[in-house]
Structure 1
Amino acid sequence: MKITRVEAIPFAIPYRKPLKFASGEVHVAEHVLVRVHADNGVVGVAEAPPRPFTYGETQAGIIAVIDSLFAPQIVGLSLLERETVHARLARTVGNPTAKSAIDMAVWDALGRSLDVSVTELLGGYTDRMRVSHMLGFDEPSAMVAEAEKMRDTHGISTFKVKVGRRPVSLDTAVVRALREHFGDGVDLYIDGNRGWTAAESARAMREMADLDLLFAEELCPADDVLGRRWLVGQIGVPFIADESAVTPADVTREVLGGSATAISIKTARTGFTRSQRTHHLAEGLGLEVVMGNQIDGQLGSLCTVAFGSAYELTSRRPGELSNFLDMSDDLLTEPLRITGGELTVRPGAGLGAEIDPEKLRRYRQDH
């Protein structure tokens, strides 16, 4: 079960509508399909979604670092040597999405080789997760309509509302409109992507104090150390560290420093190996955990539900697993389906994902 080859294939699939939030907007999913080949004929797959405005990675950069640095370092290793793979990739600073896609493709290849699902390899707690849906910037009526469609079509009843615009009242009005329309029939939480100041965040939370929010995520920059601590100390809901707490060391710093009381785990940026470390740390610290979304396609969402289902802590809350619905198409032979507000792990070995060769030919960017 030795690694013989690593492929990084660029592809691009348009979104049905732009996804807008405080740190940028996305019109096309310009992602990278990563394939890890082994000498037993097995091929593991994963998806790398670059987010240049958050992590500094681009599609071209992911391909370059995999081809020139990462692939030569892991070819020849066994699929069982996951810690060695992790250590060799860690020699290079940054590039979290490129590293994570390789890591997850290795886990997929291992599961396929052993005829065991990745979820079972990781922990096997359950085979499904409840789903939360992310609502991007729009007018209140449009966001209410989208939430209603998600509830009626897919059974989703938890919504993450993107905030962080100025004036603050633009977003507090949206959240209020959602609560007034749905009443207690849905759960709501907000994500500012660091768009507000600490003072603006405090004002917004006061205006929404009666709306029964589950969480508040990254409302203001973590670099404003004193402001962030001041804010977290006064709001009445768990404060999620997302892009400010990517590594276990980041989590430790943010939580012990009083800048967060919950975390988001995104397999797209920490793979399965580092996500395990973060999960165990969060469990030890008694933190709330939400499985986040890096605007993943179907393959990335499959990775998220595979990891989130593996543990009691990560399956306790709905995971952000629905943004692939905003894409006009995808690469999987059998599309994912959210039913009754849940997404299930694919049956079969590894991730249970099969890439449609015709769709890959249609959307790949290197031919």
Structure 2
Amino acid sequence: MKITAVEAIPFAIPYAKPLKFASGEVATAEHVLIRVRTEDGIVGVAEAPPRPFTYGETQAGIVAVVESLFAPQVTGLRVTEREVARARLGRTIGNPTAKAAIDMAMWDAFGKTVGLGVSELLGGCTDRLRVSHMLGFDEPAAMVAEAERMIATHGIRTFKVKVGRRPVDLDIAVVRALREAFGDGVELYVDGNRGWTPAESMRAMRRLADLDLLFAEELCAADDVLGRRWLVGHLDVPFIADESAVTPADITREVLGGSATAISIKTARTGFTGSQRAHHLAEGLGVEVVMGNQIDGQLGTACTIAFGAAHQRTSHRAAELSNFLDMTDDLLTEPLLITDGELRVRPGAGIGVEIDPDKLARYRTS
């Protein structure tokens, strides 16, 4: 089970419709496929989706750090030595999605080696997750129309609404339009991507107080320490820490400091090993958990399903799993299929997916 090689393959697949939000816009999935090869001929795979405007990683940067630094540090390890790999990669600050993809590819290789699914190995709580769909910036009518399409086509009835624009009136109009269009038939929550100040966030949430929102996420920056504590202390819905609470230390600081009452776990930035740490800490602290989305492709989404379905706390809420629907194509031989608002854990060993070599050849950019 020793690792003989780690590959980082950049690829680019356009989105049919760009996703727009307060911290940026994504028009093309410029991701990196990570492949971990073992001496037994097993190949573990994972997807690293860079988000330069959030974590500072770029596609070229992920390829460079994996090839020049991370691959030599894990080559020669057994795929079971994930803690050793984590410690070695942890000596380098940053590069969260590069590290996460190597970790998940090691888990995939391990699952394929022993003939078990990763979700079983992680906990095996359930075999499916409800799906939440992210609605990016647009006019109210367009966002309602997109939600209608998701309900009719895929049975999705939970929506994460991107907010954080100035003035706040347009975002308020969007959320109201969604509630008026669907009534109690959908679940709604909002994500500001740090776009507002604490005062703007408070004004917006007061005006949305009658809409029965599930959560508010990252409405303002965590760096505004006192302002965010003041905001969270006055809200009557859980406040999700996302990019401000990646590591266990971040989570502890934000929750115990009164700056968050829930967290988002994204396997794309913490892998399976780091995500387990975050999950168990959230369980100990008694905060809610939502499985988030790094605007992953189908491979990354399959990883999120595998982890989220493995644990009771992460399978309780709808998970953000549908943004691959906006991509014009993908790399998997067998596409993911959302049915009745749910995605199932892929059967088979490891993560349960295979990469189509023809599609990889078509979209790779190296």
Deviations, residues 102-126 of structure 1 (Å, cap 9, x unaligned): 0000000000000000001100111
The alignment covers a number of residue pairs equal to 366
The CA distance in 2 between the partners of 1:261 and 1:173, in whole Å, is 26
Distance in 2, matches of 1:80 and 1:162, equals 39
Structure 1 equivalent of residue 268 of structure 2: 268
Aligned to 1:202: 202
Give the distance between the partners of 1:221 and 1:17, measured in 2 at CA.
27
User: How many angstroms does 1:213 deviate by?
Assistant: 0.1
- TM alignment of 1:163-242, pairs within 5 A: 163-242=163-242
Q: How far 1:253 sits from its partner (Å)?
A: 0.1
CA distance in 2, matches of 1:42, 1:188: 42
Query: Secondary structure at 1:271's aligned position in 2?
Result: helix
What is the deviation of 1:17? 1.1
Give the aligned residue type for 2:323.
Answer: N
Shift of 1:18: 1.1
State percent identity of aligned pairs: 79
Aligned positions of 1:245-256 closer than 5 A: 245-256=245-256
Gaps of 5+ in 2: none
CA-to-aligned-CA distance 1:221-258 (integer Å, 9 cap, x gap): 10000000000000110000000001010000000000
CA RMSD after TM alignment: 0.4
Distance (Å, rounded) in 1 between the aligned partners of 2:252 and 2:96: 18
Q: CA deviation at 1:313?
A: 0.2
- CA distance in 2 between counterparts of 1:39 and 1:72 reads 15
1:327 matched to 2:327: yes
Runs of 4+ off more than 6 Å: none
Question: Which blocks of at least 5 consecutive residues in structure 1 are unaligned?
Answer: none
1:150 is the counterpart of 2:178? no
The TM-score, its normalising length taken from structure 1, stands at 0.99
Aligned position for 2:99: 99
| Residues 40-61 of structure 1, C-alpha deviations (whole Å, 9 max, x = no match) | 1100000000000000000000
- Give the letter aligned to residue 104 of structure 1: M
Q: Which residue of 2 aligns with 1:53?
A: 53
SS of equivalent residue, structure 1 residue 25: strand
| Partner in structure 2 of residue 350 of structure 1 | 350
Shift of 1:342: 0.3
| Cα deviation, residue 269, structure 1 | 0.3
Counterparts of 2:318 and 2:66 in 1: how far apart (Å)? 32
Taking the aligned partners of 2:344 and 2:284, their CA distance within structure 1 comes to 27
Q: Distance in 1 between matches of 2:79 and 2:105?
A: 10
Amino acid of the residue matched to residue 9 of structure 1?
I
Q: Which residue of 1 aligns with 2:86?
A: 86
Alignment partner, residue 16 of structure 1: 16
TM-score, normalising length: structure 2: 1.00
Q: In the aligned structure 1, how far is the partner of 2:121 from the partner of 2:91?
A: 26
